[in-house]
Every structure is written in structure tokens, then in C-alpha cells.
Chain A
Amino acid sequence: MSEEVAFEPKIVYFMCSWCGTGGAETAAAHHMHYPENITPSRVNCTGALPAVHILRPLIEGADGVVISGCHPGDCHYDDGNFRARRRVALVKSLLDTLGLEAERVWFRYVAHGEGRRFVDTAAEFNDHIKKLGPNPLKTRSDT
């Protein structure tokens, strides 16, 4: 790393009960490590994650939010992940229009057995956020 970024990002990682947490559990089973500043948050299905729950952490102190669920076709509830994709698209559109760095929100499919992919996502996002720097919203008291 050429640039020393002095801050530890606060990251909220939404994962669905099925593939999302499955990926995390597989990683654990293989003793893979992921950064400690990730706060996992379990939802039954990414399709059940309200848009507001992506916005709240970004305003109140998170530097980034990841949403991970099953791959297309694998959703336990058939189409929750497709609906989630639309909802994330909407939130990213709003953030982008308002210049609030939509890239602080990632939507990536992680399957039950993809421990490596889960760990990579956490590490990659962590580095990505370190490069972006702290979220300017989180220190504003007038939000």
C-alpha cells in the first residue's frame, strides 16, 4: 500500500440468511480472516431490506454499506434478489444524483459455499473505502 490512510472504516454488511451468511460461515469454517471493522447484519432476504436501512447507516456513522445475497436464480424466496437489485439501483441513483458517493454502496452476490468470495468482498470493500476516505456525512451534526 503506497498510501497510508489513517482511518478504520466502519462498514455495515447486510447479508441474507441463506447465501449471504452462508458465505460468511463457509469462510469461518475454512479459518479465513476478514477485516474486523465490518459489522455484519443479517436480513432474511436482501429483497426484504428496506431502502431506508441502507441510508440510515450512511448518515449516522458508516463509511460504506455492502449488500450480499444469493445469485440470480438461487434466491430462497425466488425473486427477492431481483427486487433487491432494483431497490439498490434506486438508492444508488438517489445518492449519485445528490453527489453522495454512490460507490459507498456495493451490491454483490455471494453464494453459500463462496467463502473466498465473501472474504475478498469484505477486504476489497474495506480497501476501497479506505481510498475514498471517511464518509463526510458522518461527522455532520446537522443531518
Chain B
Amino acid sequence: MPEGASSSAFTSEGLKINRGAVDTVRELLRTLLESGKVKAVLALGRTGGDEGGVGYSLFRNPAAFEANGAALPLLPFMPANAGALLSRLTLEGPLPEPVAAVVRPCELRASIELAKLSQGYLDNILFISSTCGGVYPLDAGIDGNLEEMLPRYWQAMKQGTLDDKVRPTCRACNNFVPEGADITVALLGEADLDEECTLYVQTERGADFASCLEGATTEVKQENKVLERSMVQRDAFREELFATVEVGLEGLIRTFGRCIGCHGCKTVCPICHCRLCHFDSQDCERPAGFYEGELARKGGLRVPPDTVYFQLGRMAHMAISCVGCGMCTDVCPTDIPLSTIFSKVGASAQAAFDYHPGKDVDEEIPLRTFEEEEFAQVAT
């Protein structure tokens, strides 16, 4: 059984709608807003003027989800991990009224993980996710260039494959079937997604909200084959990608050699939530004596110091919860393949504890709990 999400989801009801997938989602959200069933929707939308950019927005006006409206749900782009955004939205308290959020599986997992870390509340959030075919790198979204990529993206999706210009992190992702969403839109491998759409409804709340849409209710048995095939492809790519990581001290020093210590990776990481990161705190502000001592010992010292220390330290703090969303690689000014490294280390740490970040809000984070009898091999 391959790692990652089980491929036996979706035994619940499915709604088959006679409308393209993106249009269906638009219509669902428009209806939900207009009827007042949700007070706002977190989704991608246009920013700036006509040849605008793309960013997440909290939409209030149902008109945004009309045909030429500002909202762009399901666009293959992730300018921020929506899990981090939902955490920001609910940091000071739960949402007072229902809000829908269109999120990718990794964003959903980040959201759930953050709730476990007491960084937000899941109450009143209607999660709408999809079987994910990945997103394009951040720089593909500059100056509206994403438009050009859309035909090839959807072409690949219909065939159940991933466009090879989609981020490597996504092509290696084996967690592309969302668990814990209220409504999941079937996208991957749906050859007719331009004309019709299947919505899997996984919760009561999901059923309640989806009932706004007109569509035949059918008990759909999940079509495993496409998803299984995709899983096999992704697992193979994942192995290849993880093999490119240079391990060992020399390898790490080479890889992180060009790190400039901007800590952008930490800022965009949904799991990294500390108000003041340890590596930004006074604990890492070194007095003169430190530098002089290091000089005497080693003959030379990088300034600012603690480059590899920061990377390994951040791993130690968050790899157990890493959802492999890839924001870190996207934001790095020196193109270090951080997500590959962190996903690899994360996967291995998670396997050691048999832990699945973001899968189940009741699954306790490994470092917050323990068994009396475990890890005997660690104690000597």
C-alpha cells in the first residue's frame, strides 16, 4: 500500500451536476453567498487591474462568482497556503458564521494541523477541496502569465496526469486526495470535466450546503483506477526527487551554501506559526565573544552565522507536521529545493511515529504525547 492518503475514500454520496467543474464550483459559491448560507468565501481571485495578479481573497459579494467575476476558484496557483490564511482568520476566535474555503488537500491538512497546534478554529468553515493535479510555481503567476498555462493544465487533468510544468513538489505528492473536506470536487482523471462534474459530499454539513445546487443525487462508488495510477506515478517521481537531496554534512553545506538567511521559508510555511521564531530571537543574536571564539577555533566564520543550524532547527521543530505544500521552495530567493528536503525529512520523521499530519484533528501530534513502552531502541 503506497504511503500517503488511502485510495479508498469516497464511499459517501456524490452529486452529479450537468455543468463543468469550475462553473459548478462558481455556481455553488455564488448561491451560498446569495442565500446567506455562508457569509464569505475564501478563494483565489484577481488582484490589481485588468491584467491583474492572482491572490486569495475573502469574498462577500456573490457577483464575484459570476462568469466574469473576480473570483478564480480552482486556478492551479498557490500564492499562500490557505491553511495559514484560515489560521490568521480565526486566530483570535472561531468564525461567528459559516465561511466557505476552496482549498487544495495540502492546505486542508495544514488547516487541520494548525487547529491541533491551537492556531485557529475549524468551526464554521466549509471546506471545499478537490482531487489535486498540483499548481504552477509562483513565478508562473507573475504578470498574468498563468492564463497561458491553463489549457495544458486541464488537458493533463482530464487524462489523469500532471502537466510537467507543475511544481516538482506537487508531482511528488502522494496526499492528493483530500480527507476531511466537506465537499470534494472530482477533477483528476475526469475526462468530461468541461461538461459535467461530480461533487463528493463527505459530511453532513457538506450535504446541507451542497443541497443548494440542483443536481442528481447518485450514490457514486469511487473510481479508484485513475487515482491509483496517479499514485503510482507520483510515488516513482517522489523517489527520484528525494534521491536528489545531498545528504551528509558536506552535502548540506553545499546545498545551503547559498542560503541568505532571509527566513522567507519560515514566514510562508503554514506550520511555522511562532510569533517570534527562536532563530529570530535574542537567543540567536550572538555577542562579540561568540564570533571571536569561533574565529579562534575555526579560522573563519560565516556572517550572519547559523545558516545550517536554522535549517536543521526548523526541521526539528516542524518536520513532524510538514504537509509538503512547497511554499518554501517557491519563496526562496536562491532557489534552494527546500520542499524536497523538508518533505523527505518530514516523511521519514512521520513514518517513525506513524503520524499523518492534517489527516485527523484527533490524531495527537507525536511530541505532545507518549506511550510508556515505545522507542526502546532510542534509550541505551
Contacts and interface: CB of A to CB of B under 8 A. Distances in A.
Interface of A: 141-142
Nearest to B59: A141
Nearest to A141: B57
Contacts of A141: 57
Contacts of B52: 142
B48 interface: yes
* A contact patch SS: loop
7 contacts: A141-B57, A142-B46, A142-B47, A142-B48, A142-B52, A142-B55, A142-B57
Nearest to A142: B47
A71 to B, nearest CB: 41
B56 to A, nearest CB: 11
B238 to A, nearest CB: 36
> Which size class do B's interface residues fall under?
under 10
Contacts of B47: 142
Contacts of A142: 46-48, 52, 55, 57
Interface of B: 46-48, 52, 55, 57
A141 B52 CA distance: 13
Contacts of B55: 142
A59 to B, nearest CB: 15
B257 to A, nearest CB: 38
A141 B47 CA distance: 8
A142 B52 CA distance: 10
Contacts of B46: 142
B48 to A, nearest CB: 6
Contacts of B48: 142
A141 B57 CA distance: 8
A83 to B, nearest CB: 28
A142 B55 CA distance: 9
A140 to B, nearest CB: 10
A94 B46 CA distance: 26
A142 B72 CA distance: 14
B41 to A, nearest CB: 13
A142 B57 CA distance: 8
A139 to B, nearest CB: 12
A142 B71 CA distance: 12
B44 to A, nearest CB: 12
Nearest to B58: A141
A143 to B, nearest CB: 10
A141 B55 CA distance: 11
A141 B63 CA distance: 14
A62 to B, nearest CB: 20
Nearest to B60: A141
A142 B44 CA distance: 12
A141 to B, nearest CB: 6
A141 B40 CA distance: 14
A142 B79 CA distance: 14
A142 B48 CA distance: 7
